[in-house]
Structure 1
Amino acid sequence: MYKKVMVAIDGSKTANQALTEAANIANTYDATLCIVHAVHGDTEADKKAGSEILEQAQSSAGTRKIEIRLLQSNIEYGLNGIAESIAAAAADWEADLLVVGTANRRGLERFFVGSVAEQLVTRVSCAILLVRPQSTEKESGAH
């Protein structure tokens, strides 16, 4: 079903959960996994930090067929620039599935900050899997 699975990461806990899901799917379908990370700045420090995030993700993915890509986003466009660079990478690579963690923002925070995952839903032509943060019993209100 899936031959090319792309996952976008940012070093967060939810992105790591998305990486785990993407690696499991890639292993299940014997698909190639492409891990991408978008950086805002174009300084060497930005690129180095992004490369370190990718290398750590690559070593923890546990899949045989794997690629990594450091994406450059336009800082002037903020989150739109990140979503744009990820969507372009998914199209260029011809991904069958894009896996993305979502911050699960609500209310005013979502209105003002926005969501890269939400923007990707409207920008990519492939299937997309949104991975929500895992909540603990305390956070979900369970007793």
Structure 2
Amino acid sequence: MYKQIIVAVDFSEPSKVALARAIKLATATGAALTIVSVIDNRSTTSVATYDFKYAEQLKEEITKELEESKAQAEAQGVQDVRIIVEVGSPKIILTSFEEADVIVCGATGLNATERLFIGSISETIVRRATCDVLIVRS
């Protein structure tokens, strides 16, 4: 069965449901769980205006929230939990985990435009992933 589960978290309601599902899956299979949040730097107006100091502050804040998610997973019996915060394109980063057996994500995330479709990021994960993908509906 699964040995390494990756779950994408952007703190939207769908991603919270995906996290809960990934925790249940990790508990049931004994798999390791990696909780990943990606700071999408493509949403800035230009690279020149992107403030890397702000990104570091945001990364620290997200890490604190992910620590709470890690504690939640551990409290439910997941033995091996990692957290990762990256800056870049979620579509690229979330499909780059070679050790992943399954990627879990919500059908939609925080981007309102992408909600018009299944969710541009989740749709790209389905197309690019080399492992199973579980799209969770909330």
Q: Same fold (TM over 0.5)?
A: yes
Aligned residue-pair number: 121
Kindly tell me: are residues 32 and 106 of structure 1, through their superposed partners in 2, closer, same or farther at Cα, counting changes over 3 Å?
same
**Alpha-carbon distance change, 72 to 108 in structure 1, aligned in 2, over 3 angstroms:** closer
Q: Deviations over 1:34-58 (max 9, x none)?
A: 1111013442222122212311211
Q: RMSD in angstroms over aligned alpha carbons?
A: 2.4
What does 1:1-143 align with in structure 2 at a 5 Å threshold?
A: 1-41=1-41, 42=52, 43-61=55-73, 62=76, 63-73=78-88, 81-88=89-96, 90-91=97-98, 94-103=99-108, 110=116, 115-133=120-138
CA contact (8 A) 1:8 1:35 kept: yes
| TM-score normalised over the length of structure 1 | 0.75
Whether the 8 Å CA contact 1:26–1:32 is kept in 2: the answer is: yes
**Structure 1 residue ranges without an equivalent (≥5):** 74-80, 134-143
Going from structure 1 to structure 2, the CA distance change for 1:122 and 1:45 (only over 3 Å counts) comes to same
Assess, with a 3 A threshold, how the Cα gap between structure 1 residues 109 and 103 changes in structure 2: closer, same or farther. closer
In structure 2, stretches of 5+ residues that fail to align are: 42-51
**Structure with larger RCO (C-alpha < 8 A, sep 6+):** 2
Moved over 3 A (4+): 104-109
Q: 1:3 to 1:46 in 2, by over 3 A?
A: same
Give percent identity, aligned residues only: 30
Inter-partner Cα distance in structure 2 for 1:64 and 1:57: 13
Length-normalised TM-score, structure 2: 0.77
Shift of 1:115: 1.8
Structure 2 CA distance for partners of 1:44 and 1:106, relative to 1, 3 Å: closer
In structure 1, C-alpha distance between the alignment counterparts of 2:63 and 2:123, rounded to whole Å = 25
Partner secondary structure for residue 95 of structure 1: coil
